[in-house]
Amino acid sequence: MPKSKVELYAAIRRDHRQGGLSMRALEHKYGVTWRTVRKALDSKWPEPRKKHRPRATRLDAYKKIIDGFLQADLDAQPKQKHTAKRIHDRLVEEHGAVEISYQMVRSYVADRRKQIHLLAGRAPDAFVPQSHIPGAEAEADFGDVHIVLAGVPTRCYLFSFRLSYSGKAVHRVFASCGQEAFIEGHVHALNTLGGVPRGRAATTTSRRPSPE
């Protein structure tokens, strides 16, 4: 017996046209109704299955609101974009949606966010993991640090030297972020680590050391 409806239709047509079987004979051979035989002879493909309407849920009343949040996120800064938790909190606080669970919101947002990005012609966020060879690369950076020096609030600069593979880091505080501090920070870090990266040490900060 044919496994699929398409195969069944093809077999019925073949037996009717090539084997000369009557419609009644086809009914008995394949165990189908007269209506099925008639459809097979009149149409090359079976009719598509009727799609059932999705079952209504308590979230339906809030889906347009959620879509509005996600559409606004298209032009928002990364830190201002809605998480599923934030959307659930806003639905409860601003719309009284106490009957809506966080799991319902999270499931809807996970699928709907991708759809909205595609409809807007935006590619979804993607992350490419970095890989590093042991002992090959390092990163150097300056960052602000505020201390109390002799009772006076003072702005200083924290030099950080970090090995890219292991994440091991060496830090030192300087009064400035000039070229002299930059070089001294490297000397201190390399002496502490007991070696020099075989590849390169990149500067990740936009604050470039300047001669003093």
- What pLDDT, on a 0 to 100 scale, did the predictor assign at position 48? 61
Extract the tokens encoding 81: 């974009």
Provide the sign of the torsion angle of the four alpha carbons 164, 167, 172, 176, taken in this order: positive
pLDDT band for position 3 (50/70/90)? low
The DSSP H or E segment spanning 182 is helix 179-193
User: Helix, strand, or coil here: 67?
Assistant: helix
pLDDT digits (tens, 9 = 90+) for 110-140: 999 988 888 777 765 555 666 778 888 899 8
Contact 132, 164 (CB under 8 A): yes
User: Helix, strand, or coil here: 152?
Assistant: strand
Extract the tokens encoding 13: 């047509």
The whole-angstrom separation of Cα 5 and Cα 73 is 46
The whole-angstrom separation of Cα 123 and Cα 129 is 18
- What pLDDT, on a 0 to 100 scale, did the predictor assign at position 124? 57
Single-letter amino acid, residue 198? R
User: Helix, strand, or coil here: 203?
Assistant: strand
Give me the chain's average pLDDT, please.
84
pLDDT digits (tens, 9 = 90+) for 21-70: 888 998 988 889 988 888 888 875 666 666 667 788 899 999 999 999 99
| Helical H segments across 18-157, by residue range | 23-30, 34-42, 63-72, 84-95, 102-119
The whole-angstrom separation of Cα 115 and Cα 109 is 10
The whole-angstrom separation of Cα 135 and Cα 165 is 7
The whole-angstrom separation of Cα 16 and Cα 78 is 65
Q: Which of 91, 111, 87 is nearest to 99 (CA)?
A: 91
